[in-house]
Structure 1
Amino acid sequence: MNCPTCKSAMITLELADVEIDHCVHCGGIWLDAGELELLLDDPVRARRLLDSFREAPAAEHPRACPICGRKMTKIVVGASEPPLWIDKCRRSDGLWFDKGELQDILKRGEFDPDSRIRSLLADMFGQGGQAPGKGSVP
């Protein structure tokens, strides 16, 4: 599967028994439909987070879904400022998070800082959201 942002081949990583697709070039993460809920491991907060998603127009050019190839929609997550935008497949194939956005959503969503998913993301991607051992992208 290729990254919807930079078109590089993505690698598959296992995080909390969920396979995620990660672009080592730009640091983005693709989650197939249902994987965000599995990662959050808290049905009430997961539902609250998903219910906070709302479609909104964006100036950025739409990206293509890495599964179906159709243009994805820009989604605003929650109501906090500054706004946090992610990409959602129109066919609901999954969600695209640019580097650091998934971690940011977890911080804004009042998930426990010691939660399993936040710890795993920090271990896997570090504070900057990039896989360990990878240099910074210019």
Structure 2
Amino acid sequence: MNCPICKEPMIILELNRVEIDYCPVCSGIWLDEGELELLYSIDNTESELKKLFRESNDSKEKSFKCPVCRKKMIKIRFNNTELIIDKCPVNHGLWFNKGELEKVLSAKTNQSSQKVLSLLKEMFSYNKSQEAE
């Protein structure tokens, strides 16, 4: 799968037994449908996630195409914050620019999300140390 931002091939990483697509060029992350729920450890996924995201019609961010179906993704706002995420209009998944997934996961303070957050921080600190060499 190619990155919707820089069009480069993404690599598959495993976080807490969930395979995510990661772009080593722009550090963006693609989560297929249902993977955010697994990382977030939400039991009643449908209703709880709907409360966290609302469509954002006022975003000035550039729109990108879903890496699965190539349809223009819609912008959704996370939890009434300024954080805007890209979502496939036919629910193939979510696109997180660099650091956005960490922000979403840090809003949930259960043990599972904290474990995933620690793994993400380790991964990104490893990438930063590699770039410095």
TM-score (norm 2): 0.85
Q: Is the 8 A contact 1:32 1:95 kept in 2?
A: yes
CA RMSD of the aligned region, Å?
2.3
Where does structure 1 differ by over 3 angstroms across 4 or more consecutive aligned residues? 44-50, 130-134
Gap regions ≥5 residues in structure 1? none
2:114 and 2:71 mapped to 1: Cα distance?
Answer: 34
Q: Which amino acid aligns with 2:19?
A: E
* CA distance in 2: counterparts of 1:120 and 1:46, whole angstroms: 25
Change (3 A) 1:42 1:30: same
Q: From the superposition, tell whether residues 44 and 122 of structure 1 become closer, same or farther in structure 2 (CA, over 3 Å).
A: farther
Counterpart-to-counterpart distance in 1, 2:38 and 2:110: 16
Q: Tell me how many residue pairs correspond in the alignment.
A: 130
Structure 2 match to 1:125: 124
Structure 2 partner of 1:6: 6
The equivalences for 1:1-138 within 5 A come to 1-43=1-43, 48-57=48-57, 58-80=59-81, 83-107=82-106, 109-112=107-110, 115-126=114-125, 131=127, 134-135=130-131
C-alpha change, 1:25 and 1:67, in structure 2 (3 Å) is same
Amino-acid identity (%): 45
Deviations 1:31-55 (A, max 9, x none): 0000011112242689534422011
Q: 1:78 to 1:132 in 2, by over 3 A?
A: same
Query: Structure 2: which 5+ runs fail to align?
Result: none
Corresponding residue SS for 2:131:
coil
